[in-house]
Amino acid sequence: MTGRWNTLQLNRDARLRRAQQSLGTQLVGKILSSERIVDLLHAVIESGDRVCLEGNNQKQADFLSSALTGLDAGRVHDLHILQSVLALPEHLDIFEKGIASKLDFSFSGPQAGRLAKLASSGKLNIGAIHTYLELYARYFIDLTPRVALVAAQAADRFGNLYTGANTEDTPTIVEATAFKAGVVIAQVNEIVDTLPRIDIPAGWVDFVVEPPTPHYIEPLFTRDPALISEIQVLMAMMAIKGIYAEYQVERLNHGIGFDTAAIELLLPTYAASLGLKGKIARYWALNPHPALIPAIEAGFVESVYSFGSELGMEDYIRARPDVFFVGADGSMRSNRALCQAAGHYACDMFIGSTLQIDLQGNSSTATLGRISGFGGAPNMGADARGRRHASPAWLKAGQQARAGKNQIPRGQKLVVQIVETFREHMHPAFVETLDAWQLAEQANMAIPPVMIYGDDVTHILTEEGIANLLLCRGEEEREQAIRGVAGYTPVGLARDQRMVDNLRDRGVIQRAEDLGIDKRLATRDLLAAKSMKDLVRASGGLYQPPKRFRNW
């Protein structure tokens, strides 16, 4: 081949040669000594490269990320960074230093404010904000990485990788890069003779480095039951009786937060008392939430497939292989791409919280001065219109949406937004206009960043009740149904009381009492665990919460 059709391979060969020349005996097979990492990056990264940096919800290739900041911006600049989660300050330092200039990503949580500043200063050009699976999808179409910087638990001398429980994005990133003549560099916590299992074959990996300290993992899915309020208990009761039981929801995903943690902790108590064991919440696409332990122990949960893992849950998962997906070594294999596909196509319901909901039911966590992205919510909280298999929940939601319309029958995913009408600092959750509009203008986005669109939302649940948007006929009813559960927010106070009463008569709005729920029972006594210690106890001592959650 002369180079007309194999420029990527020839270019890759040149990069690998440069690495050999630059590193000499500091490179043994694929293994590099960690103090030479910047030299390796200088050798294999070229200006303008698309570089996929592994930053997940939890696992961070932090050593490689920090090494990137050490590049000489005179030699390497204008990198186009692909990264699902920007969690660490160094993720943005490379833009400040002029090493990178473009970013495609999914979520930026703690860095959202600084990201917005860099974007408006012109130092960082945002390609787009994606939901996770969408970003991975582009790795195979128009955003294929030239270089991937990933993290694993261990490697052997050949370069085989063991990811341990936090497999997450690694296999997908490596597959996209390795099979288009890219360069794959992995940081691993240890190099061993024999791996507990192989998650990624050595042939897909070019370089392995063992940093002085293990990679960072964020315990993102732990919620202390002590912080769950009685309002959240009441909302959880309404969710279980008014939605889970009503639609027979067997397969589901829970968003992160205290609202859904409350539901998880009410399964073995309140839901069990309603005779729902074995009837709802059997199959999950979910990180291993500690709050799910009591429901698992009660036999409520048959299977949990996970996007990533959760710190402290390792021994518990290992001891519950009937429930979790684990390898022959006993530790979990999570896979974010496949779990997002599962959440999209194999779940009947997504339920999660948000910051703002407008009168059409559009919701967003985007607020002024912060560009945070939405992670998995858009993928999970969208009707999966390619879905063709039926379930009672899906059929019933579809029937409600299409009743009285001249349309061919079709099912629909349940997408539930669960929010208290006022959030922290008395900010109303219901607004006339989303901050997303202003943010779009500020940040020069093509359209406002909406997390979940109103026409995908089926229910809004607040402490005031449930609004079933599937049953609304027309925009006006939809607006009043939303106002009718918006409590004492300005949006709620501006309701048309007669229309709201009518919607309640028709069951479009349901209050706790309409569901036969006695509000006096909505106390913390219903929680299957009231503290972190209770969760540890429920796990038989197998769950070992990270220090910051240990208050005893």
Q: Which is nearer to a copy of itself, 353 or 363 (CB)?
A: 363
Size of the site for a copy of itself (CB under 8 A): 99
Q: Which is nearer to a copy of itself, 482 or 527 (CB)?
A: 482
- Amino acid identity of residue 127, one-letter, is G
> What is the rounded CA–CA span in Å between residue 390 and residue 393?
8
> What is the rounded CA–CA span in Å between residue 135 and residue 156?
30
Q: How far is the CB of 438 from a copy of itself (least distance, A)?
A: 13
Q: How far is the CB of 200 from a copy of itself (least distance, A)?
A: 8
Asked if 347 interacts with a copy of itself (CB under 8 A), we say: yes
Per CB under 8 A, the segment of 50-58, 77-85, 198-206, 510-518 that binds a copy of itself is 198-206
Report CA-CA distances (Å) from 25 to 84, 185, 445, 487.
34, 18, 49, 69
Q: How far is the CB of 464 from a copy of itself (least distance, A)?
A: 24
> What is the rounded CA–CA span in Å between residue 246 and residue 178?
47
Q: How far is the CB of 227 from a copy of itself (least distance, A)?
A: 29
Query: Hey, which residues between 80 and 139 contact a copy of itself (CB under 8 A)?
Result: 104, 127-131, 133-134, 136-138
Residues in the chain, how many? 552
Query: Hey, which residues between 372 and 411 contact a copy of itself (CB under 8 A)?
Result: 374, 378-390, 395, 398, 406-411
Q: Which is nearer to a copy of itself, 223 or 333 (CB)?
A: 333
Window 128-167: contact mask with a copy of itself (x via CB under 8 A): xxxx-xx-xxx-xxx-x---------------x-------
Q: Which is nearer to a copy of itself, 171 or 225 (CB)?
A: 171
Q: Which is nearer to a copy of itself, 101 or 362 (CB)?
A: 362
Which residues on adjacent β-strands are paired with residue 107? 85, 373
Using CB under 8 A, pick the residue from 29, 48, 201, 541 that binds a copy of itself.
201
Using CB under 8 A, pick the residue from 18, 77, 102, 197 that binds a copy of itself.
197
Phi then psi dihedrals of residue 154, to 5 deg: -155, 160
Nearest to residue 204, comparing CAs of 30, 37, 38, 45?
30
In angstroms, what is the C-alpha Rg of the chain?
25
- Structure tokens that stand for 535 in this block: 């969760």
Query: Hey, which residues between 242 and 301 contact a copy of itself (CB under 8 A)?
Result: 250-251, 282-285
DSSP letter for each residue of 59-112: EE-HHHHHHHTTS-TTTS--EEEEEEE--STHHHHHHHTTSEEEEEEEE-GGGH
Q: How far is the CB of 548 from a copy of itself (least distance, A)?
A: 28
Q: How far is the CB of 468 from a copy of itself (least distance, A)?
A: 20
- Structure tokens that stand for 25 in this block: 């005996």
Query: Hey, which residues between 436 and 455 contact a copy of itself (CB under 8 A)?
Result: 445-450, 453-455
Using CB under 8 A, pick the residue from 358, 420, 463, 464 that binds a copy of itself.
358
Q: Which is nearer to a copy of itself, 296 or 485 (CB)?
A: 296
The 3-class SS string of 368-388 reads CCCCCECCCHHHHCCCCCCCC
> What is the rounded CA–CA span in Å between residue 152 and residue 206?
14
Q: Is the distance from CB of 34 to CB of 41 less than 8 angstroms?
A: no
Using CB under 8 A, pick the residue from 31, 100, 148, 178 that binds a copy of itself.
178
